Amino acid sequence: MGLRLSKIPIKTWQIIVRDKRKTIDFKNKLFLAPLTTVGNLPFRRICKEYGADITCGEMALGEDILRGKMSEWALLKRHHTEDIFGVQICGNHVVQTTKAAEVISSECDVDFIDLNVGCPIDLVFNKGAGSALMDKSRKLETILRGMVAVSSVPVTLKMRIGTSDKRLSGISLSGIMKQTGISLITIHGRTRQQRYTKVADWDYISRCRESASPVTVFGNGDILSYVDYNEKLKYADGCMIGRGALIKPWIFKEIKDGSHFDISSSQRMEILRKFTDYGLEHWGSDAMGVEKTRSYMLEWLSFLYRYIPVGVLEVLPQRINQRPPYYHGRDEVETLMCSPNCRDWIQLTEMFLGKVPDNFNFVPKHQANSYA
C-alpha cells in the first residue's frame, strides 16, 4: 500500500474515520522507550525476556512510510514475543502524518501508534518535526486529532518538557493534547536544548500529569534501578525506560523483583550471544547480516560499558548521570566490558562474529551516552 500511495497526490487521499478502536491499560506496565538505532528488534527481544511489558519500534518517518521505503517499513516489524507493541512515527505535515497512521493501523500488526514530539536532532527539528512541534501547538493538535480519527488502535504521544529553558511548553500542551482523544502522554523530563546535560525534571513531569488528567501520563528520564523507578512513580502514572535499559536490560527484572541483580560477566556475555543469534536471524547470516549485527552490537556496547557490577559498587544504587570511577572487574572479561575504548568493544564483537576487516572503524552515532 505504501508504494501505491506514493504515486497519489496528497489532496486526493481519502481519510477513513474509525468509530471503534482497541484500548490498552498502560498503567503499572514497564514500557521500553522507542530508541533510534539501538531499539532494534533483537534488542527488544532481550528486554522482553527480562520482563518489559510494552515495547515500541524505532522512530519511522511518516513521509518515507507513504513512499514505500523498505528500510522504514522494516522498523514497523514486530516479533511474536512482543505482546504489547507499538510503532513511533515522526512528521510535520498534517495529512501525511494522518495518512501514515491510517496505513499503519490497517496494514501492520501493532497495538498503538506513537507520535514523536521529542526528537532533538537538527535534521528532524529543522524540518518542523520531532520536538519542533512543541512550538506549534495548533498543528500538533490537528495532527493528533487526525491520527486518532483514522486509527483503529490507540494513539499516544511522547514529548519533552519544552524546546529550551525559555520555552517550557509541556504543561500547557498536556492540557491541550488531552482533548484530542490520545490514550497516553509520555514526558521526557528535559528540553531539546538540554539534551543529556542536566538531570530529568520530574517535578515538571508531575505538573504535566496534573494538566493532562484524566489522560494517563508516563515519565521518562534517569531510571537505572528499581529504587529510581519507585521514586519516580510519585510523579507519574508509570515510567518509560530508555537509557537504563540500554545500560542494563535486566532492569525490568530488577523492578519486578524489587532487588539489585548482581549479574556476572558470563551472564552478560550470554546476553551478547543471544543478541548475536537474534541479529543474524533478523538481518541475515550472510556477510551483510553479520556486519549489520556487529554495527548494532557496537552501538549498544557504547551504553553497556557504563554498567558497574553490583559487587563492585561501594554505594547502591548506581545513578545514571554519575560518571563511574575507573575500576578493575572481578575477572578479565568484566574488565574488558567496562572499557570506554571502542577498540575493546570491537574485540567483544569479534568473539561472536569473527574478525573485522583491516580498515574497520566505529564511531557511536548516539550522544545519549553522555553524562549530566
Q: What's the pTM value of the predicted model, to 2 decimals?
A: 0.91
pLDDT, tens only, 63-91: 999 999 999 999 999 999 999 999 999 99
- Record the cell numbers describing residue 302, joined without a space: 557504547
Mean pLDDT (whole number) for 221-233: 97
DSSP characters over 148-165: HHH-SS-EEEEEEEESBT
Q: What single string gives the DSSP state of each residue in 168-205?
A: --HHHHHHHHGGGT-SEEEEEEEETTTTTSS---HHHH
The predicted-structure confidence for 318-354, as pLDDT tens digits, reads as follows: 999 888 778 889 999 999 999 999 999 999 999 999 9
Q: Give 358's pLDDT tier (boundaries 50, 70, 90).
A: confident
User: Which DSSP letter does residue 281 get?
Assistant: H
Active centre residues (catalytic)? 119
Report residue 110 as a C-alpha cell: 501493532
Residue pLDDT, tens place only, 14-41: 444 555 568 999 998 999 999 999 999 9
Inform me whether the pLDDT recorded for 7 exceeds 70: no
pLDDT reported for residue 89? 97
Q: pLDDT category, 3, cuts 50, 70, 90?
A: very low
Q: Hey, how many other C-beta atoms are within 10 angstroms of the C-beta on 78?
A: 18
Alpha carbons 349 and 346: distance in angstroms, whole number: 5
Amino acid symbol at 81 = T
The pLDDT mean for the chain works out to 91
What φ, ψ does residue 361 adopt, rounded to 5°? -145, 150
Residues contacting 161, CB < 8 A, separation 6+: 168, 169, 170, 187, 188, 189, 190, 191, 201, 204, 205, 208
pLDDT tens readout for residues 43-64: 999 999 999 999 999 999 999 9
Q: What is the DSSP letter of 131?
A: G
pLDDT at 178 over 70: yes
